Amino acid sequence: MIIQTENPSIEAHNLTVIYHRKPVLWNIDFTLPKGQIIGIMGPNGAGKSSLIKAILGLVPVNSGYAKIFGKSFDEVRQKVSYIPQRQTVDWDFPATVQDVVLMGRYQQRGLFGKITQEDKVLAASALEKVNLGGFVNRQISQLSGGQQQRVFIARALAQQAELYLLDEPFVGVDAATEQAIIALLQQMKSEGKTIVVVHHDLHTAKEYFDWLVLLNASLIASGPTSEVFTEELLKSTYSGKLTVLSQVGDQLRERNFPVREA
């Protein structure tokens, strides 16, 4: 099931990415709506992160193309904010929380532009939204994983983008931080923003996302969560792994094991 949308936020046409002669993404073709929280899901190695990077031009594309708001990424760069996986970042880099959040303003000012008082006010406001207002001068290396993730989101908010791409934002954060992040994403949606999230937890997919992209190197489905989150499509996506996942979930519920520490 692949549902197309008019006037999309992102569109991909015959998008193919190959690493070392192995297809990572194969002939991806979809359109994604504006003003929604969209989840990209699939098993490990399905190409979820590669899809985000291909859309942003961060990995070479072997065929096909992607557009954002009907244009190339370079034409709309200021409207797009990307939050990579937290573990890919060097958190020992000597920078304060304010330094990191102000990086979001360079999209507007240019690489050699001067940071203004207005930029600092926007950065402070973004930190307040993620409940880190008192951490302005803290070194990023001194923060917990959840706090580091929220700093990244504050940087994205300071950019004042229209489209936000988040790669596994809930990995390594506790339940309270995850709920705080999803509440913030829902607030951003209410302001007309479009949010695309690479995600792995099937248990929260129906609660978190308005639209789902199911991926396993090729596109399995793309459409409203209510129509796409079906047993048949999930089995096609996870290639038999869903049964194991379901059994694990049943065992957790039966034995009342916590899925995540509070």
Listing DSSP states for 209-250 in one string gives -SEEEEEESEEEEEEEHHHH--HHHHHHHHTTHHHHHHHHHH
Sheet holding 22-32, edge to edge: 22-32, 10-19, 63-68
Residue 262 has pLDDT above 50, yes or no: no
pLDDT at 252: 46
In the chain, % helix, strand, coil (3-state, to 5) comes to 45, 25, 35
Q: What is the CATH code of the structural domain delimited by 10-89+161-254?
A: 3.40.50.300
Instruction: Read off the pLDDT of each residue in 14-43 and give the average, rounded to a whole number.
Output: 91
pTM recorded for the entire structure:
0.83
Q: Locate 191 and state its tokens.
A: 């302001």
Residue 70 has pLDDT above 90, yes or no: yes
| H/E segment holding residue 253 | helix 241-254
Residue 255 has pLDDT above 90, yes or no: no
Handedness of CA 58, 179, 228, 189 (dihedral sign): negative
Residue 112 has pLDDT above 70, yes or no: no
pLDDT at 197: 95
Q: Between 261 and 21, name the one with better pLDDT.
A: 21
Residues near 121 by beta carbon (within 8 Å), at least 6 away in sequence: none
pLDDT at 65: 93
Cα(77)–Cα(3) distance, integer angstroms: 26
Buried b (16+ CB within 10 A) or exposed e, 222-238: bbebeebbeeebbeebb
For the ranges 35-49, 160-174, 227-241, the one whose mean pLDDT is highest: 35-49
Q: For the chain, first and last CA: distance in Å?
A: 37
Quick one: angle between helices 175-190 and 145-159, nearest 10? 10
CB of 99 closer than 8 Å to CB of 127: no
pLDDT at 9: 95
Residue 27 has pLDDT above 50, yes or no: yes
Residue 245 has pLDDT above 80, yes or no: no
Q: What letter represents residue 232's amino acid?
A: E
Instruction: Read off the pLDDT of each residue in 128-145 and give the average, rounded to a whole number.
Output: 84
Can you give the residue ranges of every domain in the chain? 10-89+161-254
Cα(226)–Cα(223) distance, integer angstroms: 8
Q: Between 176 and 209, name the one with better pLDDT.
A: 209
pLDDT at 258: 47
